[in-house]
Structure 1
Amino acid sequence: MATRRSARLSALAAAQPNDTAAPILPPPAPASKSRKRKVSIEDKEPSSSSTIEPQLPSTPQKRKVSKKGAPPPATPTPAAAALLSSSAAGAQKKPKPAAVSRLADPNKTNAPLLSPQTSRVVSSSPIKPRDDTEEGVSPSKEPLRNQTKDDITTENILEKACAHLIAVDPRMKPLIDKHPCRIFSPEGLAEQIDPFESLVSSIISQQVSGAAAKSIKGKFVALFDDPSLDQDQDDEDGKDTPPGHPAEDQPSSKRRKRRFPTPSLVLQKDLPTLRTAGLSQRKAEYIHGLASKFASGELSASLLASAPYDELVSKLVAVRGLGLWTVEMFACFALKRMDVFSLGDLGVQRGMAAFVGRDVKKLKNGNGKGNGKDKKWKYMSEGEMKEISERFRPYRSLFMWYMWRVEETDVSSME
């Protein structure tokens, strides 16, 4: 009996290791799986890049890592002003115009303007006082006669303007030294501007990006592809400039070949045709109305060249599609008037606040006094902007340009 029991116990003891080891047997199954994975990887090793690459740039990771585009500037100035002084032939690289010495006036247009219906050049001041003793000398290449050091010319107006800004406020000197302004330089003032083209460009650029505006303008010009546009035309609006007027047209030999359609050609196209360039219905109407103003003589190059600023603004604001801000930018960057200042430009307002030492970041976050309808004046009040800018007359355009530079606003497109 005892022998049978001991035999049973010994058999049980001998079987115990097998029973305990039995649960350990299943692990080989995962080992076999891992072995299969290794085999599959080894077998497909030559093409492993094709199996791994799709998994690495997963869509969620791209969305998390990708950075959003930079927000639009606080002021539309850079995008809008990019086209104001650019010509339709801007795609073709051409040499910069040589500086031409002319009398200048901070309160008048300093850019030579192309008569919209012709290729004649209109200026608010003669290139030089006429001298009947010498003939056959090109007035554009001869220096001003009887010029004194106190005369303001296209060669020294920028220098005089910068000196005035520094004299009013010495804090302007670091800005002026760091950021040379080409717009009012002798070369900048020698650029010929078509006022009709500049105003059409300003309408096109409203509420669209700079790239979109440039594309639409190119399609707009393409609607008028005609060999006759590349040739000088007869003076159809010579009546704009009476004999002896300071804005006397230059000889036809100085005309520039036409690249932008004349107002008369624009009026020949109906609105649906103009819209094929990417214009909205309203913008097509604005451009059509602007063309009729120039074609009828209500607006002309001579008027824009020599009219007082208040008269200029009232004439242009009366045109559908041209608001006060658009007219101010046109007067500054296209007409090259030196005493323009925009109180409604947010970029100027922000720059002025930083210029006088305010923390614009705190003001931006809502710590300013402005609220409700006055919220746009959160950086600085309109009255304070006007009071500060008045000190810089008659060179407020240059002061405004430097206020954009205070906050490193990108104004390279303006040049």
Structure 2
Amino acid sequence: MASRRSSRLAAMVTNAAIRDPAPPPPPPLSRKRKATTEAPAVEETGEAPSTPRKRRTKGTADVPETPTPTAVNLIAEAAHTQKPKPAAVARLADPSRTNALLRSPKTSRIIAPTPVEAVPSKLRDSIKPTGPAATTTTATTTTTTTATILEEACAHLIKVDARMKPLIAQHHCRIFSPAGLAEQIDPFESLCSSIISQQVSGAAAKSIKARFIALFNDATTTTTDPPAVTDDISSTTTTPTFPRPAQVASTPLDTLRTAGLSQRKAEYLQGLGQKFASGELTAQMLADAPYEDLLAMLTAVRGLGRWSAEMFACFALKRMDVFSTGDLGVQRGMAAFVGRDVGRLKAKGGGKWKYMSEKEMEEISERFRPFRSLFMWYMWRVEETDVSTME
């Protein structure tokens, strides 16, 4: 009886299994398997596959995938910018000769002084480097160049007189710096400026010079320099240019005087223009002439005295061994430099005085050869003499 019941129950279980089979086990969780299992669902629905949206995590919504560089202004710089000026190129320099780059008044061609033998640098004697940089420093200071001549001059002045050290530390002389020696100088313009500035204030000289230049410029005159950076890249600038010597020589005196020049100064400028136009004076002559010959050449021109020639040699030709005993500012500065009471000396003179004799000035300045131009510049600084019109 019991065996019959057991066989009947077993048969019932077997029939149920055949009618309702058990579900298969879940496939392993892998990307490959997941793709195969999801493919049929796409085919059944007919919808295009899409990337599911990621949940935004708090605090990361504004973080870019690539961090922005800190120097982003270099990347975002405007494409149309003015071409930067090239760095000053070091040239051989000589304290006793012209160190400026002169521009021909006729052709605007650059006139460099005739090459001469290199001058040994004085930095080797005044600076004794130590450490790993000792060999490289010695190698780079074997000759005097426009990059080192100011440093040499300052070291020489301090070596001669330690009282120069605070003056040099307080005032930087740009005239003989690498940047100053890289400037292009038109000797005709420089000499004209010297004549215009005689016996007038600095402001008056600048005003007269501007009106003098305007006589030879009209609205159609444009510069060949690249235009300044503006929002409109097609815009151009108009810059007045200094006249050529032939233009000044052929201009009537009455016309020149409309710029505010006196009759005599108009004659001086016209005569100077004739000297350059005829070739009696050239930029090459001024660049190569020995100092005494240079003074004789310039003082032969009407309107140029010794003081004007000395200032031209110092500020325009960038000669490092110029010294003027006739300059009142240098006299006053030297008197204060050696410890004299400048105020008492002025009162004692009664209007016609000398703070120091020419002989004494020569004796003191002699020790600073061959860099007396720099010494003279610092003597102006002692009493804060305004030399802006000469610079």
Question: TM-score of the superposition, structure 1-length normalised?
Answer: 0.62
Among residues 358, 382, 400, which one is paired with 2:358 in the alignment? 382
Query: How far apart are residue 268 of structure 1 and its match?
Result: 2.2
CA contact (8 A) 1:101 1:128 kept: no
Tell me the equivalent position of 2:149. Answer: 157
Instruction: Name the counterpart of 1:115.
Output: 104
Letter in 2 for 1:402: Y
SS class of match (1:183): coil
Distance 1:296 1:228, change over 3 A: farther
Distance in 2 of aligned mates of 1:205 and 1:94: 34
In the other structure, the counterpart of 1:393 is: 369
Partners of 1:265 and 1:407 lie apart in 2 by 40
Tell me, in whole angstroms, the C-alpha distance in 2 between the residues paired with 1:334 and 1:390: 22
| Shift in alpha-carbon separation, 1:121–1:202, aligned structure 2, 3 A | same
Q: Does 1:105 align with 2:94?
A: yes
Structure 1 counterpart of 2:188: 196
Aligned to 1:333: 315
- Structure 1, unaligned runs of 5 or more: 1-92, 130-146, 233-256
Which one of 352, 356, 376 corresponds to residue 334 of structure 2?
352
- Say which of 243, 255, 259 aligns to 1:277: 259
> Structure 1 pair 311/157, CA: closer, same or farther in 2 (3 Å)?
same
> Which entry has the higher C-alpha Rg, 1 or 2?
2
In the alignment, structure 1 residue 298 sits paired with structure 2 residue 280? yes
Q: Deviations over 1:127-158 (max 9, x none)?
A: 999xxxxxxxxxxxxxxxxx852311000000
1:238 matched to which residue of 2?
A: none
The answer as to whether partners of 1:102 and 1:127 remain within 8 angstroms in 2 is: no
Counterpart residue number, 2:179: 187
Is the deviation greater in 96-105 or in 351-360? 96-105
What is the distance in 2 between the residues matched to 1:258 and 1:105? 34
SS at match of 1:292: helix
Q: CA deviation at 1:123?
A: 1.1
Deviation at 1:267, TM superposition (A): 1.8
Query: Shift in Å at residue 194 of structure 1?
Result: 0.2
CA distance in 2, matches of 1:111, 1:328: 15
**Deviation of 1:98 (Å):** 3.6
Contact kept, 8 Å, 1:97 with 1:191, in 2: the verdict is no
Partner of 1:223: 215
Structure 1 residues 97, 184: CA separation in 2 closer, same or farther (over 3 Å shift)? farther
Find the aligned partners of 1:96 and 1:329 in 2 and give their Cα distance: 28
Q: 1:289 aligns with which of 268, 271, 290?
A: 271
Q: Secondary structure at the match of 1:187?
A: helix
2: distance between equivalents of 1:97 and 1:220? 31
Amino acid at match of 1:201: S
Q: CA deviation at 1:326?
A: 0.9
Q: Which amino acid aligns with 1:311?
A: D
Checking the alignment, whether the CA contact within 8 Å between 1:203 and 1:321 is kept in structure 2 is yes
Residue identity opposite 1:120 in structure 2: R
Tell me which amino acid in the other structure corresponds to 2:91: R
Maintained 8 Å contact 1:101/1:127: no
CA contact (8 A) 2:100 2:183 kept: yes
Change (3 A) 1:99 1:414: farther
- SS of corresponding position for 1:401: helix
CA distance change for structure 1 residues 151 and 101 in 2, over 3 Å: closer, same or farther?
same
1:213 paired residue number: 205
Write out per-residue CA displacement over residues 4-51 of structure 1, whole angstroms, 9 at most, x where no aligned residue: xxxxxxxxxxxxxxxxxxxxxxxxxxxxxxxxxxxxxxxxxxxxxxxx
Secondary structure of the structure 2 residue equivalent to 1:349: helix
Residue 94 to residue 191, structure 1, CA distance change in 2 (3 Å): farther
| CA–CA distance in structure 2, aligned partners of residues 97 and 190 of structure 1 | 10
Q: Matches of 1:380 and 1:188 in 2, distance apart?
A: 31
Match in the other structure for 1:86? none
Deviation of 1:99 (Å): 2.0
Counterpart residue number, 2:79: none
Cα displacement (A) at 1:288: 0.6
Tell me the SS of whatever aligns to 1:113.
Answer: strand
The aligned residue for residue 132 of structure 2 is none
Q: 3-state DSSP class of the match of 1:398?
A: helix
Structure 1 residue ranges (4+ consecutive) displaced by more than 3 angstroms after TM superposition: 93-98, 125-129, 226-232, 410-415
Q: Which residue number corresponds to residue 403 of structure 1?
A: 379
Partner SS state of residue 265, structure 1:
helix
RMSD over equivalenced CA pairs, Å = 2.7
Whether the aligned pair in 2 keeps the contact of 1:220 and 1:277 (CA below 8 Å) is yes
Find the aligned partners of 1:271 and 1:95 in 2 and give their Cα distance: 41
Percent identity between the aligned chains? 71
- In the alignment, residue 93 of structure 2 is paired with which amino acid? A
- 1:331-350 CA-partner distances (Å, limit 9, x unpaired): 11111110100100111001
Aligned position for 1:67: none
Query: 1 CA distance for matches of 2:116 and 2:85?
Result: 19
Q: Residues 359 and 128 of structure 1: is their aligned pair in 2 closer, same or farther, counting only changes over 3 Å? A: closer
Letter in 2 for 1:260: F
Larger % of helix: which? 1
Higher relative contact order (CA 8 A, sep 6+): 1
What whole-Å deviation, never above 9, does each CA across 1:385-405 have from its counterpart, x for those lacking one? 011011111100000000011
Are the counterparts in 2 of residues 271 and 284 from structure 1 also a CA contact under 8 Å?
Answer: yes
